[in-house]
Amino acid sequence: MNLEPLNLGRLGFGAAGIGNLYKAIPDGEALATVLAAWDSGFRYFDTAPHYGLGLSEQRLGAVLRDKPREDFVISTKVGRLLEANPGGASAKDDEGFDVPATSRRVWDFTEAGIRRSIEDSLERLGLDHVDIAYLHDPDVHDLQAGISQALPALEKLREEGVVKAIGVGTNSSEAALECVEAADLDLVMLAGRYTLLEQPSVPLLDRCVERRTGVVNVGVYNSGLLARPEVPDDAHYNYHRAPREVVERARALAAVCRDFGVELPTAALQFPLRHPAVVNVTVGASRPEQVTSNASRMQESVPEELWDALEALGRD
C-alpha cells in the first residue's frame, strides 16, 4: 500500500446524504453542503452510484469539477450498475433514497460490468478519473463472486492506471477480512463496525496493519446514536430505533465524556483514529452546518485520560 500521494487527510466527506438519503434536499442545499466541506478543508470525498441512483455523484461532481483536480481525492464504488427503469418516474426508490425510481440497480461483478460502472460514474461526475474504486457490499450480493471476479478486475484496473487505489466497502468486518486475505487491497471502507460503542472488527484492523491495508472508517456515529451530546430516547442505531439497553450504554459513554469536558460526538469522531490501521474517518452530511460541526470536532483537543476512562468503562 502506498497512499501517500492520495492525501486523504484525517476527515473525509461521505456523499450519501446529498443523494437524498431518507429525505429529499434541494439542489442548492446539497451543493452548499459540498462547498462547506471544501471550505472546511475536506479534500477526500466518497460517493457511489447506489446513493440516490446517481444523484450523489451528479451533485458532488457539480462542485468538484470546478476545483483543481490535483487538490482532492475522490472515491466511488462498483458492483451495482444503474439501468433505465421505464415507468419508474411515478414511483420512489425503495432502498432508502428519496428519489424517483427512474433507474434500477443491477448487480454486476464482472470485469466488463466494473469497467462500465466506472465509466458511468465518470460521466455523472463530469471528471476524467476517480482515485479510488471500492467494491460495494460484496457480502450483500455474492462474496465469493466478489473475491473471484471483482477484486481481480479492480487489481487489473489499478495496474492499468485507471484508478490509483482499490478496496472494498462493507458493513461486515468478516467479509472485509476475507477480501483483505484474498487480494492486494489498498483500503477497506468499514461502516459502523469500529466505533466508540462497539469494536468487534479489531481482528480485521490488526490484520490490515499486517497487510498494510488502510482503513477508512465510516458510520462512527452508529446511525445517529452517538451524534448528539445528549442521547435521546428515540435515537437510532444500525438504521433502526435503538433498543433501550443500547441507549443506556450510549448515555454512559456520554456521561464519561462530560466528566472530561468533551462532548460524545467529538469522542466518537476521533476514537477510530487511535487504531494504527485507520487512515481516515469519513462522515456524511446533508446540511452545511453538519459539515462545519464535524470539522470543528475533529480539531478539538481530547485528553488522554478520557480514552483511559472509556476503556475502563468497556471492561466493566
Pairing of the two strands 103-107 and 80-84:
antiparallel
Q: Show the DSSP H helices in 65-172 as ranges.
A: 111-125, 138-141, 143-145, 151-160
Contact 16, 56 (CB under 8 A): yes
Max CA pair span of the chain: 58
The verdict on whether 221 is a catalytic residue reads no
Helix, strand counts (H, E) of the chain: 12, 12
* Secondary structure class of 134 (helix, strand, coil): strand
> Which residues, at least 6 apart from 146, have a Cβ–Cβ distance to it below 8 Å?
79, 109, 135, 138, 139, 168, 179
Please pick, among 44, 51, 194, 221, the residue that the annotation labels catalytic.
51
Which amino acid, 71?
Answer: D
List active site positions. Answer: 51
